Amino acid sequence: MKQTYLHVQENSKYTADLADGLLTITGPSSVQFSIEDQGEKLQLNSKEVVTNAASLIAMEHLFINKPELKTISVNQKAMNRSDFYQNPSLWCAFGTQSLTPEQWMYSGNVYHPVRPQPQPGDLLYSRYVPSIGKTLSFRVVDAEKDLSTFHFWHNQPYVAEFWELAKPEVELKEYLEKGLVDLHSIPTFVEFDGVPVGYFEMYWTLEDRLGPYYDSEAFDRGFHLLIGNMEYLGFKNTDAILKSATHYLFLEEPRTRKIMAEPRSDNQRIIRYVETFPAWRKVKEFDFPHKRAALLECRREKFFMGNFL
């Protein structure tokens, strides 16, 4: 079993190779581990210097390839699966390294924390997803570079039905530019191995139109998603994107306890998907001025304790 991984905060690639009871990590820091298999627990031992990055890559490779595995110890230091996937350094490039004390501001009549804002083109998250055999990434859109793709996606009937943005390029460019300066949202592209697959728009619910419709908290997040590349439609890819999106939003801001979504209540594709993913639940239906919506919720503890990655 051999796989290459990107350590996002180092911006470094590592290769993990598991063969004949030995795990070899090769990259900026390289090390070889012997493995003691104790069923739901593995003990890794090395006489070499083990960096934190090499240790995390080793754990990622083993947790991916051994779904039944609950705990890994590296030179007697143990970590369980749910704790491992809450460590942002492997996958999350934005926010986690610059967490600051809360500062608050008004937007209109809403008092909310000051929100950090990445720049166009910034990589936010990247993770190898074994279920699709690809590396999935979220990067901030570039209004010039991504406009033609964004325009093509929104002018496909199955997208336009729910997004209602089948408009000329000039109007969609204004939409993206507005999103890039709006501190309550971050417009991103979803990519598989560098290929644009869809559009993922994340936002803070407190200052969003959704905020007044439920008991919103200061660091709740919400999102809108479309898969515009028709080659990547289907349950397996949707599952990979939504699990990775949920993972990213919880990693980026450790004070986020809930992630919300508000698709149209007749969007059966999303509703059926939520029924298969028990970290999410349908809270209620309600009426926006422009649509009847279903309010969906995912809580941090349900996601990480459920071993969904």
Positions marked active-site:
262
User: Measured between alpha carbons, how far is 57 from 132 in angstroms, rounded to an integer?
Assistant: 19
Nearest to 93 by CA among 137, 153, 148: 137
Asked if 65 and 35 count as a contact pair (C-beta separation under 8 A), the reply is no
CB atoms near residue 83 (< 10 Å): 11
Mapped onto helix, strand or coil, the DSSP state of residue 19 is strand
| Cα-based angle 258, 90, 78 (whole degrees, multiple of 5) | 90
Q: End-to-end distance of the chain based on CA atoms, in angstroms? A: 18
Which residues make beta-bridge pairs with 309? none
User: Measured between alpha carbons, how far is 219 from 159 in angstroms, rounded to an integer?
Assistant: 29
User: Measured between alpha carbons, how far is 64 from 130 in angstroms, rounded to an integer?
Assistant: 7
Q: What is the dihedral of CA 172, 176, 179, 180, to 10 degrees?
A: -160
What are 210's two structure tokens? 């959704």
Amino acid at 273: Y
Amino acid at 277: F
| Cα-based angle 199, 200, 206 (whole degrees, multiple of 5) | 145
Q: Which residues of 153-164 are buried (b: 16+ CB within 10 A; e: fewer)?
A: bbbeeebeebee
